[in-house]
Chain A
Amino acid sequence: MRPVGAGSPAPQFPGDVIVEMRGVRASRPRPPDGRRPVLDLPLFQVQRGERVAVLGPSGCGKTTLLHVVAGLLGVDTGSVRVAGCELSGLTEAARDRFRASAIGVVFQSFNLLPTLTAEENVLLPLRLCGHRDSARARHLLKRVGLTQEARAPSSHLSAGQQQRVAVARAVVHEPMLVVADEPTGNLDRASARAVTDLLLEVCEEAGASLLLVTHDRDLAARLDRTVMMADINRVGGSGAGENAS
């Protein structure tokens, strides 16, 4: 399906590289009016269909890396190509449209809009692209084992169920890339394993690459490749800032 929002850049990418960051520098606001550097990446790539884990301690810039790849945060300098689209040259509105059509996201917690039901949360990316394929949303909810909970308010679901809904939402629009920020960080071991299995399976079924940030070496080991943040980010050690994540 790969719905693309009106006016969004058409995802075209020659070769097998789905994410390519070159000479990227990114910073975050430092109150009251300064900025502190968080990311300095000479080169970072993810291949098409590849499942990459990014490991590193808190504050080393992992989340910032995900936000830049997802177009949630602009860069100061450098090139960020995702699915053939140069994000650094796009306006924020264009990045929003690109994200709506080509990227799925899963966060550690509070993934769902509490005012919507599970099904409505899954449908959200489709509706933002102007589609309303309830059948696909229901299919995915069935796929993640939440058929009965489709109409339940998301706030009534357990943490594990909420993460499964988030996984379904991340792939409902058949994105080329799913970014996940410690998706199992708030779950018990059994739930974490179940959610990880699900995430890997649905990404594979959807043909999406996966870029996953985690502290969990066991989880990282299940992916195709592990990248240590300290190896790629020249804002080294804790230089990325304690709160940069």
Chain B
Amino acid sequence: MTGRGDRIALMATLAWRSLRRRALSSAVTVIAVGVASGLVLAVWSIQDQARRAFTATPGGFDAVLGARGSQLQLVLNTVFHLDTSPGNIPWTMYERMRNDPRVAAAIPYAVGDSYASYRIVGTSSELFSRASLGDGALVIEPGGRVFGPAAREAVVGSMVARRASLGLGTTFEPRHGFGADATQHHESFSVVGVLKATGRPADRVIWVPVDAMLALEGHVIRGAGVEYVPRPGAAIPIEHKELSAVMLRLCDPNAGFSLDDEINRRGRTATLAWPIGTSVAEVFQKLGWLGEILRVVALLTVLVAVASVLAGIHNTLEARSREFALLRSVGASRGIVSGVVAGEAFLLGSFGAVVGVAVYAAIFAVSAAAVHARAGVILDPFAYHPVLLLGPVITVLAALLAGVVPAVAAYRSDVSTALTRS
């Protein structure tokens, strides 16, 4: 090893041993730096990932047609299966969309029932058709099949199958509504298919034929503007049918502009949420201030962590002045002494950065599980974000910067005075 390399190795050894000698305070500082670093990584990365995941979730659809009201509520209700439905639209609107040349595929959605807290959506078998929806179509695991057109059959999402123990051949009785106020239906549905996991909200939904759902005992439908109670075993006249929404796949972007103008600007009875991602993106924009607050909080923790590095090292200088003087007395330069101090800051920062990645991983795991359970959206732990590379580097640099003050103090200490003082 060269003389220079040996001196660097000596500085590293002395720095490491010094930290080890003060194991408790060093560990506390490393944890403080790690938590701060992890928070920064989490705030920046998870926020960005959530935005990407939510805006990329439509699953083969370009637009949603629903009752007049909030586009965001419509998207949350139909794409993410969150929130309540803004209201219903008559079946005839669905028929009109199906026959509209600007629309490549129109899928009906009827919501309002649940089982084991999981949402039941009445729809058509087209939802599982690659011909209609391409890669956005839901895929059923081998051994299963799509439900019959009006049969009391169901296809369940992968999460529902796992958590509510609904496998092929099992049956369940839906409840009308959600939560404590829900009332029990007494018709039972049998599971004929389980979906392959998609990482999308579809995983936590039970899909049934829309006609079977509308016909459930206790349902009152108002598609024609008057109340109609379906009779058991009898087909529901089309004019009485109603839906919560219609999911649309458009032929081209121009169709979106055209439908937007027709339904949202000139029409008064329905709302078209298009493009779907834009509505979600608006939510993130509107909640941008919350992200800013989180970022400021994360940066403040970094500031506190950096200060703890500074204080942790600086407070030891007085007690170690004799140690540094001894080092100088055997020929170490001021540079080596300050290098030892800076080395300690570097090591604290480096270990802190490593702990930070672990903290980030833990925060990510908890957040991803919560987002998946509540919204069915999967966050990718390996998705790249610049902060994942820059964060650890900046952590080390910030710790080094904090080490400058004590390093300069060590550099300026007078060896002869320190030796005579002790």
A contacts, CB < 8 Å to B: 5-6, 28-29, 63-64, 67, 70, 72-73, 92-93, 96-97, 99-101, 103, 105, 107, 110-116, 120, 124-125, 127-132, 169, 243-245
Bound complex: CA A243 to CA B335 (Å): 28
- Among B2, B328, B335, B420, which residue has its beta carbon within 8 angstroms of that of A63? B420
Task: Find the residue from A28, A63, A105, A113 having the highest chain B CB count within 10 A.
Answer: A113
Q: Which residues of B contact A107 (CB under 8 A)?
A: 326, 329, 419
User: Nearest-CB distance from B72 to chain A (Å)?
Assistant: 61
Instruction: Given A114-B21, A127-B10, A128-B336, check contact A100 B422 (CB 8 Å).
Output: no
Q: Which residues of A contact B20 (CB under 8 A)?
A: 115
- Among A96, A111, A120, which residue has its beta carbon within 8 angstroms of that of B331? A96
- Among A70, A96, A130, which residue has its beta carbon within 8 angstroms of that of B3? A130
Bound complex: CA A93 to CA B17 (Å): 25
B6 at the interface (CB under 8 A from A): yes
User: Nearest-CB distance from A26 to chain B (Å)?
Assistant: 9
Bound complex: CA A244 to CA B14 (Å): 30
What total of A-B pairs shows CB separation below 8 Å?
Answer: 98
Q: Are B420 and A115 in contact (CB under 8 A)?
A: no
- Among A110, A114, A124, which residue has its beta carbon within 8 angstroms of that of B330? A124
Q: Which residues of A contact B9 (CB under 8 A)?
A: 127
Q: Which residues of A contact B200 (CB under 8 A)?
A: none
B268 at the interface (CB under 8 A from A): no
**Beta-carbon contacts of B376-418 to A below 8 Å, as 1s and 0s?**
0000000000000000000000000000000000000011110
Q: Which residues of A contact B334 (CB under 8 A)?
A: 92-93, 96
User: Nearest-CB distance from B223 to chain A (Å)?
Assistant: 82
Q: Are B330 and A100 in contact (CB under 8 A)?
A: yes
B327 at the interface (CB under 8 A from A): yes
B332 at the interface (CB under 8 A from A): yes
**Beta-carbon contacts of B1-20 to A below 8 Å, as 1s and 0s?**
11110110110011001101
Closest 4 CB pairs of A and B: A130-B3, A100-B331, A115-B17, A73-B416
Q: Are B327 and A129 in contact (CB under 8 A)?
A: no
Chain B, interface SS category? helix
Q: Are B420 and A116 in contact (CB under 8 A)?
A: no
Q: Which residues of A contact B1 (CB under 8 A)?
A: 132
Bound complex: CA A129 to CA B13 (Å): 16
Q: Are A99 and B419 in contact (CB under 8 A)?
A: no
Considering the complex, give the chain A residue whose CB is closest to the CB of B1: A132
B211 at the interface (CB under 8 A from A): no
User: Nearest-CB distance from A151 to chain B (Å)?
Assistant: 14
B322 at the interface (CB under 8 A from A): yes
Query: Can you give 9 contacting A-B residue pairs, CB < 8 Å?
Result: A70-B329, A72-B415, A92-B334, A97-B333, A100-B332, A107-B419, A115-B18, A124-B10, A124-B327
Bound complex: CA A148 to CA B48 (Å): 60
B260 at the interface (CB under 8 A from A): no
Q: Given contacts A72-B419, A100-B331, could you give 8 more A-B pairs where the C-beta distance is less than 8 Å?
A: A64-B420, A67-B419, A67-B420, A96-B332, A107-B326, A128-B10, A128-B336, A130-B7
B323 at the interface (CB under 8 A from A): yes
Instruction: Given A110-B422, A245-B420, check contact A5 B331 (CB 8 Å).
Output: yes
Q: Are B331 and A128 in contact (CB under 8 A)?
A: yes
Q: Which residues of B contact A72 (CB under 8 A)?
A: 328-329, 415-416, 419
User: Nearest-CB distance from B74 to chain A (Å)?
Assistant: 66
Bound complex: CA A98 to CA B422 (Å): 25
Considering the complex, give the chain B residue whose CB is closest to the CB of A172: B330
- Among A64, A113, A129, which residue has its beta carbon within 8 angstroms of that of B326? A113
Q: Are B2 and A110 in contact (CB under 8 A)?
A: no
Bound complex: CA A244 to CA B336 (Å): 27
User: Nearest-CB distance from A169 to chain B (Å)?
Assistant: 7
Q: Which residues of B contact A105 (CB under 8 A)?
A: 329-330
Q: Which residues of B contact A111 (CB under 8 A)?
A: 326
Q: Which residues of B contact A127 (CB under 8 A)?
A: 6-7, 9-10
User: Nearest-CB distance from A18 to chain B (Å)?
Assistant: 18
**Beta-carbon contacts of B165-198 to A below 8 Å, as 1s and 0s?**
0000000000000000000000000000000000
Bound complex: CA A63 to CA B422 (Å): 13
Q: Are A5 and B3 in contact (CB under 8 A)?
A: yes
